[in-house]
Amino acid sequence: MAAQTTGARTRPGRGRAPDAPPADHARRGGRGLGARSAPYLLILPACVATIALLGYPLVRNVIISFQDLNAFQLIQHTTQWTGFSNYTDQLSSSTFWHTVLRSVLFTLANVALIMAAGTAVGLLLNRLGKRMRLVLQLGLVLAWAMPVVAGTTVYQWLFDSQYGVVNWFLAKLDWHSMAGYNWFGHQFSTFSVITLMIVWQSVPFVALNLYAGLTTISAELFEAARMDGAGAWRTFGSVTFPILKPFFLGTTFLEVIWVFKAFTQVYALNAGGPEGSTETLPVYAFIEGVGNQHYGMGAAISTLTIVILLALMSYYFRIMLKQEDDL
């Protein structure tokens, strides 16, 4: 299959370059060169990996988006430049704009649910006793660690119209019209299943991070708030949220990016069906680019996806940068 980065939902990058040790003040001759180049040599592997695995495909993708690259050109190894026509075709197509709208709404709905549920679970983690906390953390980590495609298979079985547990359970609860319901036959129900899966796998990250953040707030603040007569909501609004604002902003920011580019869940659950009504931008790019073998067009759509995401994030960028200045 074409080696396009398909933007699968990944866990937060752990491969951050280690902080370089402060370079020795340059001493004339001797060990100066070795000591000065040590930091650069240490981060060289990470840089090479990043450039090779992320930078090169990105650059290649942008280059391909200016070409007419279909099966013919791929097999013949010819390069056919076509300027901006891939972009103008997409920007003037109503299918594209419908997909954009769908992606934005889908992202908003998911992120809202993820942040709400994740915050609730994080607060719960803070309140639990040691043993139950361990059990809950274990459950969260297992959900988080489940490979995405294996997870979609399980969800497909759960929501199968004939043999799925969900339909069986709902029918047992006397909701008989759900007995043979085809979850993947309608847009809204398909999106519900996809949302459930994405929220289920994203909540652990938010919850565990929030818990970590909460442990940095000294207990005295909560005591003081309680003594002043603040209830649970007031405590959250006046103590927890203001202190953890950077955390909330950062996590929402990350979740928006991850959900917007989520490909695996949407594609594996029903391939953008029924009738293309659950195609989000990454799935649309894949179907158009790899499925229909119009790689140039697919590359243009994926580049536009990045541009649109950056535009949506510009508000957050401004807040994040202002935060840095405030601190």
Q: Which residues bind other proteins (CB under 8 A)?
A: 1-2, 68, 70-72, 74-77, 161-162, 182, 184-185, 271-276, 287, 290-294
Task: List the one residue out of 76, 44, 139, 106 whose CA is nearest residue 282.
Answer: 106
DSSP per-residue letters across 224-286 = HHHHTT--HHHHIIIIIHHHTHHHHHHHHHHHHHHHHT--HHHHHHHTT-STTTT--HHHHHH
Query: Peptide bond preceding 18: is omega within 30 degrees of 0, i.e. cis?
Result: no
CB of 270 to other proteins, least distance (A): 9
Output DSSP code: residue 80. Answer: -
3-state secondary structure of 311: helix
CB of 87 to other proteins, least distance (A): 17
CB of 114 to other proteins, least distance (A): 29
Of 258 and 286, CB closest to other proteins: 286
CB of 142 to other proteins, least distance (A): 29
Of 21 and 83, CB closest to other proteins: 83
Work out the widest C-alpha separation in the chain, in whole angstroms. Answer: 85
Of 85 and 137, CB closest to other proteins: 85
Task: List the one residue out of 135, 186, 132 whose CA is nearest residue 159.
Answer: 186
Of 252 and 293, CB closest to other proteins: 293
Cα–Cα distance for residue pair 114/116, rounded to 1 Å: 6
CB of 162 to other proteins, least distance (A): 7
Of 261 and 294, CB closest to other proteins: 294
Of 157 and 315, CB closest to other proteins: 157
In one-letter notation, the amino acid at residue 119 is T
Task: List the one residue out of 99, 280, 97 whose CA is nearest residue 194.
Answer: 280
Locus of tokens 């609004």? 237
CB of 223 to other proteins, least distance (A): 58
